């Protein structure tokens, strides 16, 4: 019995040791001039296409999806063109296995984006391998949410995937955060996980060839992949930050145990003394984050939460349009926010809690990340919700900026975002559930009656 208890204690100690303090994290020194905050989806799209066209060594992309639409076809065609000019290019694209093989939520059934990959490979040749990464045997249990575009020595990092709205085609955009970082060591680190961990795993299969494996036949391999991911980290060589430099640490997050990204997020919140800025697209905070924020408010730290208005949610359906069940989600998130603001109305009145709602015409909001005081920033694809916290495969970049070299860029980005927001002075400024469309009221009442709303919040 003692040996069993001793082993359990040792495992817990090992778990604590994995949650390294921020100051002790290994980082990659990067010159301030090498970090550029791109101003919007248009500049991000133009930069991506320009970098692809001029690639000399490699194009490695990780995104939730590359969609069969105008922007998706344009990016894929550009990569095929680059491959034709330079056949020696190292090329690989990684997307979620499940998402690639279904249609859009709320739309008619379809073979998904994989049909595009097969069609283009058949027509243009096998020069652009596209891999499906199955984080779980079912999509609702977890998806591949890693982000990063490695082109030669540069890393384009954004929470955006590849489709018309993310790349601002036609008359709509979905706002995210966009950073271009020129650094060989950082690019190698992000690329290494794609090629060293994902590309070589038996659970990860090509989506641009036929026949494609059935998910059922991969169950054993998926279990093995999950075990590998649970103990994986980005490989980096330690360096010290000199004058005119920042330190960047790439972080991997997977599962609710020993999750490096989650641990750093909590440490980042808890170490903030003066001002913390939180970006999240869907207000559905995991319990640990909510409690950490409440701890900061008790210590009179100013907390700013920037979240999308329900009308800026991906799934919002105008009351004039035919209703679909998925359209209840934005209202569920608004209900979460209203309860949170009601509990913390005193903090709002004192100016400690600043909740900013973003909206811009018919465009949507997808920002994620943190700004802590003036010396730390987190870029991430994590939505900071329970699904990201427990189920999805996530990543992020922690930037330590002890000299404040990027302070101006962060403030300029924040200013552009806040230009489209309105401050919530009182929780009653948010719509009450009684004002929601009748179909939404029915769904939310049914969920609350069966307590299914709590379960739903854990997987959304």
Residues with catalytic roles: 145, 176, 366, 394
State whether residue 11 is helix, strand or coil.
helix
What residue has token string 């979905």? 174
Task: Indicate the DSSP class of residue 435.
Answer: G
Residues in Cβ contact with 459 at an 8 Å cutoff, skipping those fewer than 6 apart:
140, 386, 387, 391
Instruction: Using alpha carbons, select from 258, 418, 448 the residue that is nearest to residue 354.
Output: 418
Strand order in the sheet with 421-423: 28-31, 245-254, 393-400, 376-380, 369-372, 275-280, 302-308, 353-358, 421-423
Please tell me the total number of residues recorded for the chain in this structure.
460
Instruction: Using alpha carbons, select from 266, 273, 432, 254 the residue that is nearest to residue 339.
Output: 432
Which secondary-structure segment (H or E) carries 277?
A: strand 275-280
Instruction: Using alpha carbons, select from 359, 331, 313 the residue that is nearest to residue 432.
Output: 331
How far apart CA 76 and CA 113 sit, in angstroms, is 12
How far apart CA 375 and CA 324 sit, in angstroms, is 44
What residue has token string 């009684």? 434
Residue 257 burial by CB count (10 A; 0-12/13-18/19+): exposed, middle or buried?
exposed
Distances in Å between the Cα of 371 and the Cα atoms of 109, 183, 184, 250, 329 are 40, 22, 25, 16, 27
């Amino acid at each position: 019995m003692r040996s069993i208890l001793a082993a359990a204690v040792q495992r817990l100690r090992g778990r604590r040791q994995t949650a390294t303090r921020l100051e002790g994290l290994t980082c990659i020194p990067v010159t301030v001039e090498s970090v550029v905050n791109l101003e919007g989806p248009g500049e991000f799209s133009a930069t991506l296409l320009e970098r692809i066209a001029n690639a000399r060594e490699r194009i490695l992309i990780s995104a939730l999806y590359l969609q069969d639409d105008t922007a998706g076809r344009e990016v894929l065609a550009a990569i095929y063109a680059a491959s034709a000019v330079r056949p020696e290019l190292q090329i690989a694209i990684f997307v979620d296995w499940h998402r690639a093989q279904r249609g859009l939520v709320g739309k008619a059934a379809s073979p998904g984006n994989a049909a595009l990959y097969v069609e283009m490979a058949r027509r243009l040749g096998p020069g652009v391998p596209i891999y499906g990464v199955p984080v779980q045997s079912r999509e609702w249990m977890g998806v591949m949410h890693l982000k990063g575009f490695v082109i030669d020595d540069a890393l384009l990092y954004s929470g955006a995937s590849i489709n018309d709205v993310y790349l601002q085609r036609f008359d709509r955009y979905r706002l995210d955060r966009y950073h271009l970082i020129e650094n060989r060591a950082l690019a190698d680190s992000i690329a290494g996980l794609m090629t060293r961990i994902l590309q070589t795993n038996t659970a990860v299969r090509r989506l641009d060839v036929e026949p494609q494996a059935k998910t059922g036949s991969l169950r054993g391999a998926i279990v093995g992949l999950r075990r590998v991911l649970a103990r994986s980290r980005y490989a980096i060589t330690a360096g010290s930050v000199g004058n005119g430099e920042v330190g960047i640490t790439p972080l991997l997050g997977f599962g609710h145990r020993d999750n490096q990204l989650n641990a750093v997020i909590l440490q980042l919140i808890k170490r903030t003394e003066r001002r913390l800025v939180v970006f999240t697209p869907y207000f559905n905070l995991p319990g640990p984050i909510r409690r950490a924020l409440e701890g900061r408010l008790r210590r009179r730290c100013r907390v700013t939460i920037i979240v999308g208005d329900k009308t800026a949610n991906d799934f919002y359906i105008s009351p004039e349009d035919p209703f679909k069940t998925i359209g209840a989600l934005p209202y569920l998130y608004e209900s979460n926010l209203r309860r949170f603001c009601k509990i913390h109305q005193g903090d709002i009145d004192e100016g400690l809690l600043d909740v900013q709602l973003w909206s811009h015409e018919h465009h949507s909001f997808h920002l994620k990340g943190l700004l802590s005081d003036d010396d730390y920033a987190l870029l991430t694809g994590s939505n900071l919700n329970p699904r990201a916290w427990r189920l999805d495969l996530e990543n992020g970049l922690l930037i330590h900026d002890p000299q404040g070299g990027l302070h101006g860029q962060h403030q300029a980005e924040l200013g552009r975002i806040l230009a489209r927001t309105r401050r919530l002075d009182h929780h009653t400024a948010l719509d009450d559930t009684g004002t929601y469309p009748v179909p939404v009221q029915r769904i939310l009442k049914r969920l609350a009656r069966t307590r299914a709303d709590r379960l739903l919040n854990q997987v959304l």
